[in-house]
């Protein structure tokens, strides 16, 4: 199974971001961008790749501990951009900032990455620096976009704010129309996770 850890976003934020994306999307002039459906939006904390069944159970236990140690986060949508670079973009994203003053979002992402290193990715030495984001479109073409008018004219996303209180383990299922995500488990941040559930 292809697995990743992520925070869910609230329905209010999902709806507000979808309204913004309707206005902003035309600025991506190239036809090779494919929208990510809004019901799939989330804040990725760590990507683990292919994971076996027993390893997935161990990973879930580590993530439960990460959630238990983390506070409920106050998060806000802010800005947009592309990964990994302007010359070779693969994803277009709306940014997510930690509105607290303790760097809790980065700490949680670090814990989720360490959980993977401790269970399924001991051979991985490092990863790109964490940047909170919601992927709203993926580049499907070859090379780079022919034009980037969005850099100057695209409207900024609204300042949407929500409480990030649920850490989830997702399965990514690759399909021709794009990946689909299935939530396998969820863990309450700052809790004892008696409410942990599957599915």
| Token digits of residue 8 | 């869910």
Query: For the domain that residue 52 is a member of, what is the CATH number?
Result: 3.90.1140.10
Strands 91-98 and 33-35: unpaired
Neighbours of 179 (CB within 10 A): 14
- Rg, Å, the chain Cα set: 17
- Reported as a single tens digit per residue, the pLDDT across 62-112 is 999 999 999 999 999 999 999 988 778 889 999 999 999 889 999 999 999
Q: Is the pLDDT of residue 195 over 50?
A: no
Q: What are phi and psi of 16, to 5 degrees?
A: -65, -40
How many domains does the chain contain in total? 1
Least confident residue range of 1-10, 69-78, 116-125, 178-187: 116-125
pTM: 0.89
- Reported as a single tens digit per residue, the pLDDT across 119-136 is 876 555 457 789 999 999
Q: Is the pLDDT of residue 186 over 90?
A: yes
Among 87, 108, 85, smallest CA distance to 165 is for: 108
Using CA atoms, how far apart are residues 190 and 64, in angstroms rounded to an integer?
10
Residue 126: the pLDDT is 57
Least confident residue range of 47-56, 108-117, 157-166: 47-56
Find the domain containing 187 and state its range.
Answer: 2-198
Query: Quick one: average pLDDT of 176-192?
Result: 88
Region of 193 on the Ramachandran plot (φ > 0 left; ψ -120 to 50 alpha; else beta): left
| 53/193: higher pLDDT | 53
Using CA atoms, how far apart are residues 136 and 168, in angstroms rounded to an integer?
19
Q: What are phi and psi of 123, to 5 degrees?
A: -85, -5
Output DSSP code: residue 167.
Answer: E
The secondary structure of 86-106 as a DSSP string is SSS--EEEEEEEE-SSS-HHH
């Amino acid at each position: 199974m292809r697995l990743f850890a992520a925070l869910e976003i609230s329905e209010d934020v999902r709806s507000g971001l979808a309204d913004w994306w309707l206005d902003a999307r035309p600025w991506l002039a190239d036809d090779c961008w494919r929208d990510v459906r809004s019901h799939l939006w989330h804040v990725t904390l760590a990507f683990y790749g292919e994971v076996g069944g027993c390893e997935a159970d161990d990973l879930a236990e580590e993530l439960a501990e990460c959630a238990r140690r983390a506070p409920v986060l106050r998060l806000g949508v802010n800005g947009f951009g592309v990964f990994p670079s302007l010359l070779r973009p693969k994803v277009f994203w709306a940014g997510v900032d930690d509105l607290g003053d303790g760097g809790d979002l980065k700490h949680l992402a670090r814990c989720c990455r360490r959980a993977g290193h401790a269970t399924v990715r001991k051979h991985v030495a490092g990863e790109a620096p964490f940047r909170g984001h919601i992927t709203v479109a993926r580049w499907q073409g070859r090379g780079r976009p022919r034009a980037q008018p969005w850099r100057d004219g695209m409207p900024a996303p609204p300042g949407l704010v929500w409480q990030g209180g649920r850490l989830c383990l997702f399965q990514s299922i690759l399909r021709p129309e794009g990946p689909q995500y299935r939530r396998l488990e969820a863990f309450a941040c700052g809790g004892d996770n008696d409410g942990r559930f599957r599915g």
